[in-house]
Amino acid sequence: MANTTKNQFVDRESHIQTFDAAVTNIGLKELSVLVYYGIAGIGKTSLRKELSKHLQEYNDEYDSQKVIWASIDLQLASHREKSTFLITLKNELQKTSTKYFLESKLHFPAFEIAHAIYWKKAHPESQLRKDNYLLFEDDEKLDPFFGVVNQIPYFNVVPAVARLLKTAPDHLRKWWTKKLESELNELSEKEPLDIEQDLTHFWAQDLNKYLEDNSKSAVLFIDTYEDMLVNHSSDGYSLDNWIRDELISHKLSQKVLWVICGREALCWKKTKDTGIEWDKYITQYPVQELDEKYCIEYLETRGITNEKIQDVIVEGSKGVPYYLELSVDTYKKITIYKNRQPEPKDFGGSRQEITERFFKYLSPEEKNALSVLSITHFWDYELFEYYSK
């Protein structure tokens, strides 16, 4: 096979089949949670990205049964904050709804208004502006909202925004009047922390309304679930309980499939609050090491065709994709920087040796870049450029 600069996805057919079946059966159970778990570097994130591609293919094939989806990675600390968690999923869901359903875009009016009231109460000294409040960055139709919120006290936000909804579709105005106006009005009497607890309710109300009105389904991915429970912190367990007992079990309709990727299988037990027997609704699959034939296939797609080198890499990696990729990088470094053909002895016979060989053949610039990136838990190009000065 020809070499390619893009990583190839191999194996995992059984996991893709279970996912495809779960998507087809969305709505048949009251709750649906699919879990893929395995050790670090085993390829859970790659699997999650591949599953998203399958949703694109699903939408192309089934025009009348399209789904929207969103993913969030809990490796980023801010994503482990409840309001940011909801906003991230909101933004991602709106992107897919805009891409596939131009005639029925997804909006979150109740959540957006509730969150603005929460923000105004939590930051009474600040004006609501696009440069300090990005909740509406992708929704130009709600631009007038900024002016409304800044000109009136927060306890008058709801009636003012209700006036803005006069141009909204009739069904949305009726829904607002019957179900949400009184609930949002009650927020004016609450403290910011109490309002923050209510955000989940309004977020779910908006999503449920959209799915019901448009006969659509949704798939929500949560990646790196184990980072929520780092050091067994009380905050981590609080978020775990919130996802389980508030967001999944109480708030969202059965037209939502949750897909959770983490290092360990979920151990959700029946609680007094929900009374839910989670074993009935959770399906869990281990993500295990790649078989040898798939390791060889992957190495060939990356341009490594020497059988002796393949054997050393496969033996050292033990089928873990992360270590396969490190060996591929080592192969490239030897070819480029040493200007010679790699030999079997250049590659480690264990995972530790693979890592050591990877660092051995890095250029000074690359070593410096890794040192810079190790400073922060999250980075982008601008942050990297700042720390590189």
Query: pLDDT tens, 276-322?
Result: 889 899 999 999 999 999 899 989 999 999 999 999 999 999 999 89
What pLDDT shows up at residue 192?
85
Residue type, 17: Q
Out of 98-102, 158-162, 240-244, 274-278, the most confident range is: 240-244
Tell me which residue of 300, 289, 348, 368 sits closest to 322, measured CA to CA: 289
In this prediction, residue 103 has a pLDDT band, given cuts at 50, 70 and 90, of low
For residue 221, report the phi and psi dihedrals to the nearest 5 degrees. -100, 135
From the CB of residue 386, how many other CB atoms can be counted at a distance below 10 Å?
11
Determine the 3-state secondary structure of 73 from DSSP. strand
Q: Identify the CA nearest to 246 among candidates 205, 201, 208.
A: 201
Task: Give me 334's structure tokens.
Answer: 């030897």
pLDDT at 150 over 50: no
CA distances from residue 129 to 46, 137, 325, 385 in whole angstroms, order as listed: 37, 10, 44, 27
Of 25-34, 35-44, 222-231, 257-266, minimum mean pLDDT range: 222-231
CA-based nearest residue to 46, from 342, 324, 378: 324
Given pLDDT bands bounded at 50, 70 and 90, which one contains residue 51? very high
CA angle at 34 for the pair 28 and 36, rounded to the nearest 5°: 160
Is the confidence at residue 339, as pLDDT, over 70? yes
Q: Which of 78, 69, 32 is nearest to 252 (CA)?
A: 32
**Residue 270: pLDDT band with limits 50, 70, 90:** confident
Residue 182 has pLDDT above 80, yes or no: no
6 φψ region: left (φ > 0), alpha (ψ -120 to 50), beta (else): beta
Whether the model pTM is above 0.85: no
329 alpha-carbon distance from chain centroid:
27
Domain boundaries, the chain: 13-286, 292-388
